Every structure is written in C-alpha cells, then in structure tokens.
Structure 1
Amino acid sequence: MSSPEAPARGGTLGPMAHLSRVLTVVLGAALGALGAWVLMKPASPSLPDTPSVVQQMRDVARLETLEVSLYKKVTFTPEPQATDALWKDVLNWARYALQNPHGRAIVFANAHLGFDFQRFDRSHLQVTGTRVYVMLPPMEVKVELRPGETEVIDSNLDSEQTAQLLEKARLAFEQEVRSNGKLQRRARESAERSLRALLLTLGYREVLFVDHLPAGTAG
C-alpha cells in the first residue's frame, strides 16, 4: 500500500491555520492600541489636601462680599412717631436723652454682607471621592456710615450728641440689613458661585452646599 502523501512544503495553508493567523494579528494590534491608550491617558488629577482647600476658600470668600448703598431720612423731634419699627430706637433715644431735641438727618451708609470665613475650617467640609459638601459659616453684616454725604440739618445737638445719633442710625441700618431676606440670598448665591468655581478648578466634580454635613467624618 502506498502511504498518503504529505502536503508539499511551501503549499497554501488550510482555512483554520489562516484564521488563526488573522486572529493573532488582530489581537496583537488591539493589545498594542490598549497599551498606547494607557500610556497616553492623562492621570486623574490628585485632589489637594483639606487645609489647602480651606485656605483657598478663605481667600476667595474675602473678595466675595456683597456691598449695598443705604440712606435714610430721620426727623428727631419729639412729636412725630416712627413708622418703621427698626428706627424707633433712634427717635426714642432723641426723645428721652435730649432736652427738647429738634432737627433732621439724611444718613448714608454702605452695608457689607459676607460670610465669616475666619471661623471656617476643615470641620465645615466633607469629601467623598470627587464630591465635596460645604457648610458655610454664619453670615456677617457690617455697616459703615458715609460721613462725607451724611447731613444733620437744623439741629440743636452738640457734637457728642450728633455722634450718638449717627451710631444709633448705623445700628438701625444693620438691623434692617440682617432682616432683609432678599439681600441675604443675594450674598449667599454670590459666595456659592465663587466657591463652586474654585472647587471645580481644584478637581472636585460635584459641590453641594448644605446646612449640615451628612453623617460621617467631616474633613
């Protein structure tokens, strides 16, 4: 019996061998592309440490203060009754502290609304991955009179009494601003915009402003 002839050397490959070679080439190309992608992929940004974040937030918050111009006409004779409850203290002071007071004043002031970031520390932050919760510190209101524009007209007050009157007016302005919900919201929204922009720049992906931090370890 004659033995079967072996395939001639250098002959064409069978279909299975051809498929195997194609798969090997494709797999090699895929692995090469994957390796190149891993090498070229930008590294995930490392988030800064909490003390650094706190300091940068303080720096931004110092610049983010809402300023409002105010003015008020005040008549401090004994007869008229104050229609604004916040300003009754000014007229009552004039009525009981002065001898036959009379006159009027036009008082101008600037009010500054911002958050007291001197009290802001790592206990006001909670980080979970790239999400950060922020609990803002108490709001701070400061009122400064504008003496160059304030006028006291037809007054029988001496200089000390005039200074007392203006201080009472400043405190009344401060009370007025503290009770103004619209101004409080404007100041909060302005601060949140600036702080959110900062935190996103630092690498966080989600910034949530809350009244209380979620259960867990702050900072």
Structure 2
Amino acid sequence: MTHLTRILAVLLGIAAGALGAGWLLRPRVPAPPDTASVVSQMREVARLETLEVALYKKVSFTPEPQVTDALWKDVMNWARHAIQNPHGRAIVFADAYLGFDFQRFGPSNLHVAGTKVYVVMPPIDVRVALRPGETEVIDSNLDSEQTAQLLEKARLAFEREVRADTRLQQRARDSAERALRALLVTVGYREVLFVERLPASGSAG
C-alpha cells in the first residue's frame, strides 16, 4: 500500500467515524406520550389548581305559607303566617370553588400534531360551601327548617353570582391553563394551544 493510499484510507475512516457519530448524536423527536397517562396527569393537576374565593353576604328571608289540599289547613297556615310574621336575617360566609370538570375530560379533548398539542377545556365547575361556624343569624324567629331554607337560599345566591362573574372564571381558567401547559411541556410537547374546538384531522399545522 502506497503512502497516498494509506492517507486516503485514514481519511475515509475519519469521515465514516464522523458520519457514525453524527447519526448517533443527531437530535431525535421524542415519541409522543401515552394519551391516557397524560389525561390522568392533567386531571390531577387541574384538581389542584381549583380557585378558592371567600364570600360573605347579608341575606333576609320570609317564608311563604304552605299550600295544602285541605281548606281549613290553608286558613290556619295563612293565619299563623300573618300573626307570627316569620322572618330572618343572616350574615352568611361561604367559600366558592371554581375549577374544571375533568371527569368529563378524555382523549377526545386532545389533538396531537407532532410536538404540538391542542386542548379543549371541559366546562367550568362551581361549588359553594357555607361556613356555618362564621355565619350569624340575626333578628330571626324562624324555626330550624326555615333557617335551613334561609341558608340554602344564600348558598344558591352565591353560586349564581359566581357563575355570572366572568372575571373569576377567567382567573380560574388562566390558573389552570398555566399549570396544564407546564405539565404538557414537561412530558414532551413543545407547543400547547388551548382552543374552543379541535382542528379537523390533517388541518393542524
């Protein structure tokens, strides 16, 4: 083997080694995560990201007389209502919880396009729990059943107000989306898009 041939052989070996190393070290697109596992993790993260808001309100209540099938009982009910004038007022404290109903979230809420994932959030879920230890009933001659009606009326009023409060709902959405985006990036997606509806198959770019 001539000197020139040996040089060419060495150069070819170096080139082959560089190509092999480049092939081994080339960036690889990670395999997409298991969808069922991702959904399970998203449910847990969303549960922990429920927004909690403290509320209080002064409410009043005057029960209506009960209506029965017996005429004389109706008369007695109206008389008792007119004479006793049942009424009550209370300062009611409660906690409102705004989150997303991830029990209704599944693989059909996700669309994966390479390393991009589209997410449709489930409906928002609002729960209101009264804080009886801090609730104060004032100026009341209601019996226990009527007092329970008063407090339930307050709870329902809180719930309606929270459902109508777009700012609170946006706070809950922003918090949940931040947490879910961080999770999805961690498991391998590079771009996370929250959308109202998933793109048609083949149209996501």
Give TM-score scaled by structure 1 length: 0.76
2:96/2:159 contact within 8 Å kept: yes
Superposed CA offset, 1:90-136 (max 9, x none): x5xx2635932334210000000000000001111100111100001
Rounded to whole Å, the distance in 1 between the matches of 2:87 and 2:36 is: 56
Which amino acid letter does the alignment assign opposite residue 64 of structure 2?
A: Y
SS of residue matched to 1:142: strand
**What is aligned with 1:155?**
140
Please state if 1:187 is matched with 2:172.
yes
- Give RMSD over aligned pairs: 2.4
Superposed CA offset, 1:20-68 (max 9, x none): 9878765653442332233245644322221111111111111110000
Rounded to whole Å, the distance in 2 between the matches of 1:132 and 1:143 is: 33
**What is aligned with 1:5?**
none
**What is aligned with 2:182?**
197
Please state if 1:45 is matched with 2:30.
yes
The gaps in structure 2 that reach 5 residues or longer are 67-80
The gaps in structure 1 that reach 5 residues or longer are 1-9, 77-90
SS of residue matched to 1:96: coil
2:94/2:129 contact within 8 Å kept: yes
**What is aligned with 1:117?**
102
Larger radius of gyration: 1
Give TM-score scaled by structure 2 length: 0.80
> How many pairs were matched up?
184
Rounded to whole Å, the distance in 2 between the matches of 1:66 and 1:188 is: 9
Please state if 1:96 is matched with 2:64.
yes
Rounded to whole Å, the distance in 2 between the matches of 1:120 and 1:177 is: 22
Rounded to whole Å, the distance in 2 between the matches of 1:159 and 1:131 is: 57
Q: Counterparts in 2 of 1:1-219, with a 5 A limit?
A: 28-41=13-26, 43-74=28-59, 76=60, 91=61, 94=62, 96-97=64-65, 99=81, 100-216=85-201
Q: Deviating runs (4+, > 4 A) in structure 1?
A: 20-28
